[in-house]
Amino acid sequence: MVDTTALLAAYDAQMRMPTGEVPAGMSYEYDGPLLRIVGAHVGRIRPPRDLGVTGAGLDRLIARQRDFFQARGQGVEWKVRAHDRPADLPERLESAGFVPEEPSTVLLGFAAEAAAEPVLPDGVVLRQVSEAEDLRRIADHQTEVWGYDCSWVAGDLTARVAADPGQITILVAEAGDRLVCTAFTVYNPGTEFVALLGGTTLPQWRGRGLYRAMISARAREAAARGFRLLHVDASPDSAPILRRCGFHEITTSTHYRWTPPE
């Protein structure tokens, strides 16, 4: 039996704050117990499990983050896990104008167990990329699939590659000159974890094993690099596939977003 309590404890200890080189053009700033990530297309707040701040003090901490990014003319997202403390953090975020998105399922898998030779549909080629044109194509692909502007993805990936190309693997699956699936891996040095991000498949190519092939390929490289655990904040579409690949649910996560008024 897998000890999901131990997995959750490892996640809390190692995956709350970014590790490694700061992506180009970004900065990490602490405000009391939380980390504020500045310089991306949207601000990001990363807290510990227990903020250790309650009541009016918590309201002021939340307002400072909102006001900081409002002064920059940017929105900000605050990531909250289901087991975070204090328990009334979501309500206080909403009172400050933050709006919750649909929750994701936090799933962890063991790299050695998920690692395998990726099985691809006929005519599909898997390729690792880092050049600017490929990163732009990935952003266009994600915009097409999700139906909203993902142009910022190219800049985000470019910044990560510039900070340390060894900290990220970017994969594309191509059928001819068409991107049919894209995915990334971000390695967290000094931890047991890699984060599997960005898995996006064209609707007409779903159900043909592409997402699973991306999991296998990324797990294989993670295991080869000595990382033990794989982390995914999974959508309802991805979570069943990950469970079939042996991943274990440990909690849920929700992004609370604040958007500056127009």
pLDDT by residue, tens only, the chain of 262 residues:
899 999 999 999 999 988 888 888 899 999 999 999 999 889 999 999 999 999 999 999 999 999 999 999 999 999 999 999 999 999 999 999 999 999 999 999 999 999 999 999 999 999 999 999 999 999 999 999 999 999 999 999 999 999 899 999 999 999 999 999 999 999 999 999 999 999 999 999 999 999 999 999 999 999 999 999 999 999 998 999 999 999 999 999 999 999 998 7
Per DSSP, the residues of 89-132 read HHHHHHHTT-EE---EEEEEEEHHHH--PPP--TTEEEEE--SH
**Global pTM value:** 0.93
Predicted confidence at residue 1, as pLDDT, reads 84
pLDDT of residue 25: 87
pLDDT at 24: 83
Cα distances (Å, whole numbers) of residue 141 to 5, 86, 109, 176? 37, 39, 27, 14
> CATH code for 109-252?
3.40.630.30
User: Residue 21: its pLDDT value, please?
Assistant: 85
Name, in order, each residue with C-beta under 8 angstroms of 142's C-beta and a sequence gap of 6 or more.
Answer: 150, 153, 182, 198, 200
The b/e string for 36-46 (b: 16+ C-beta within 10 A; e otherwise) is bbbbbeebbbb
**Of residues 57, 48, 62, 60, the one with CA closest to residue 90:** 62
Give me the residue spans of the domains in the chain.
Answer: 15-103+254-258, 109-252
Amino acid of residue 24: A
What's the farthest any 2 CA atoms get from each other in the chain?
59
- Rounded CA separation 106/252 (Å): 5
Query: In this structure, are residues 213 and 219 in contact, taking their beta carbons and an 8 Å threshold?
Result: no
Write the CATH number of the domain with boundaries 15-103+254-258. 3.40.630
Residue 109 burial (CB count, 10 A)? 25
Q: How many CB atoms lie within 10 A of CB 244?
A: 10
